[in-house]
Structure 1
Amino acid sequence: MPPLVPPGARPETAALDGGRVRVLRSPAESGPAVVLLHGGGCDNASISWYRAFEPLGADCRLIAPDLPGFGSTSGIAPLGGPAPMADFTARLMTVLGEERAVVAGVSMGGDVALNLALRHPDRVRALVPIAPAGLSAGLSRPWMQAALWALCRLPDPVLLPAARLAGRFTGAALRRVLHDPSVLPPEAAAEFRRESTRPGGQLGYLRYGQAIVGRRWMRNDILPEVHRIRVPTLFFHGDLDPLIPPRDSRLAAARMPDARVVLASRCGHWAQLEAHDRFLSEVRGFLAGLPR
């Protein structure tokens, strides 16, 4: 079965780093460039941004890649942590002829977007982090942090079969990221199931976990650095997010010179999908208010 293509998107491939990057583009030839970065786990660009392309793509030049190790990007080994993924995104923008863009990212993708703004500030016009990772020093209990670190250290012959087995329980996984799983379009849910059982489909996220989880703390905590991000920033977070607490977004926004937080009510982790109408309204207003 061919990969899912969201309504209003057209797929293309870009040659980069010896491989082929699958990129979803909108048909608009004018308007702001907006790079959309998907989350981790069994996510890819078609799932995270399934509901965004048609309503936003008429007025924005949307660019949504499958990061290495995810979706239909091939020939590039997973990159691990958010810093190399941010550098990869900057190189991809150059290949696609986009020198500067608004960058939105969900969860892991939000971590990458924030790192892109820190490492390549000239490439980022504004930010829309959605329930972003990378803003916490560690799990609340030291033994849980140590246990997660030990799990991430297991060898691939143990981790990969376990990940494939876990991929059979997609219903439980969707209930984990969505407060109300019924709002997820069936096409996106089917793509999530396919991604969860695709050979190697979990490798990108496993490498990300191995890169960010330390024995005593998270290695990707950039909360002490976000004050250096000076571009306009809109944090969008579900108020019932069970994976990343909204407190992380509030703490980050309070340290940044031009940032605010929108909390979507009765909404879980995939806020851009679950609170779709609120997300569109907030993003449109945010883009309209950016300096030309």
Structure 2
Amino acid sequence: MPVVLVHGHPFNRSLWAPQTEALTAAGYRVITPDLRGYGESEVVPGKTLLSDFADDIAGLLDRLGLERVVVGGVSMGGQIAMEFQRSYAPRVRALVLSDTSPVAETEEGKAFRNSLADRLLAEGMDGYADEVIDKMLAAYNVTAMPDVAAQVLTMMRTTAPEGAAAALRGRAERPDYRDTLAAVKSPVLIVVGTDDAYTPVSDAEAMRDLIPHATLTVIEDAGHLPGAEQPARFNKALLAFLDEQVVQGTS
């Protein structure tokens, strides 16, 4: 069974390395693309809408000859998964939404994302990466898990500013996905770190209450990236969901 995992901003596909290893060992096919403007994908200036990312994933699936897949994402990647659900619902076997929000951007948020895009183009990624590392990870994990912190910092620092800025400008225009989620008929797993500074547990609980038959797992001792901070706990929840809700549900 194919599982597509979509990274967030400003990362790349290597964020999913622990999940790729665990899922592959369990017999799943894992697809972890670098989004346009990130990782080894082509750097694109201007503005990249969430719908552009979703269309890219659909095109990748077409190229791979895959019709229906499990789609998961973290943070911005979760919003891309929601956009994929909105535009390509028949292709979604199940959704995995980690540390993300379905709510449309506020006017204040739009201004912030556009000003941050300007800043990244002017200054590069280093200063921004240093400022947000203790929000991407729970602050206590930055010191307790130096290898994880170093990996996350490297991903952020090596992301092309043009690609990151284009995604920020597109994300500022994101729609509200709550109606989309309320209509989902496929199984949905929601995951969140207990100490997520960006999308707290209350946001995840609101999504769970919105989605029919959604499963919520709260990962202890983690922030915004529980798949990197607590991979064993994250993988246990993901594999249990796939086995119980997806594989058995289609057998």
C-alpha distance in structure 1 between counterparts of 2:119 and 2:44, whole Å: 22
Question: Could you tell me how far apart the structure 2 residues matched to 1:185 and 1:155 are?
Answer: 27
AA aligned to 1:230 is K
Q: Distance in 1 between matches of 2:146 and 2:13?
A: 15
Q: Which residue of 2 aligns with 1:271?
A: 226
Separation of aligned partners in 1, 2:116 and 2:243: 48
Higher helix share: 2
**4+ residue runs of structure 1 moved beyond 6 angstroms?**
none
Aligned length: 244
- Partner secondary structure for residue 125 of structure 2: helix
Q: For the pair shown, which has the larger CA radius of gyration, 1 or 2? A: 1
Deviation string 1:98-157 (CA, Å, 9 cap, x unpaired) is 111111111110101111112101111001111123x23456xxxxx43x4334445977
Pick from 25, 30, 54: which aligns with 2:21? Answer: 54
- Matching of residues 1-292 of structure 1 within 5 Å: 32-41=1-10, 43-46=11-14, 48-58=15-25, 59-74=27-42, 80-133=48-101, 135-138=102-105, 145-146=107-108, 148-154=109-115, 159-167=120-128, 169-170=129-130, 172-179=131-138, 180-182=141-143, 184=145, 186=147, 189-198=149-158, 201-213=160-172, 219-289=174-244, 290=246, 291-292=249-250
- Rate the CA distance shift 1:155–1:226 in 2: closer, same or farther, 3 A: closer
Structure 1 Cα separation of the partners of residues 165 and 66 of structure 2? 30
Alpha-carbon spacing, 1:264–1:190, altered in 2? closer, same or farther (3 Å): closer
CA distance in 2, matches of 1:125, 1:221: 22
Compared CA separation, residues 74 and 34, structure 1 to 2 (3 A) = same
TM-score (norm 1): 0.74
What secondary structure sits across from 1:112 in the alignment?
A: helix
How many angstroms apart in 2 are the aligned matches of 1:39 and 1:157? 19
Distance 1:65 1:79, change over 3 A: farther
In structure 1, C-alpha distance between the alignment counterparts of 2:213 and 2:197, rounded to whole Å: 27
CA RMSD of aligned residues (A): 2.5
Higher relative contact order (CA 8 A, sep 6+): 2
Structure 2 contact 43–160 (Cα < 8 Å) conserved: no
Cα distance change, pair 189–203 in 1 and its aligned pair in 2 (3 A): farther
Q: Percent identity?
A: 27
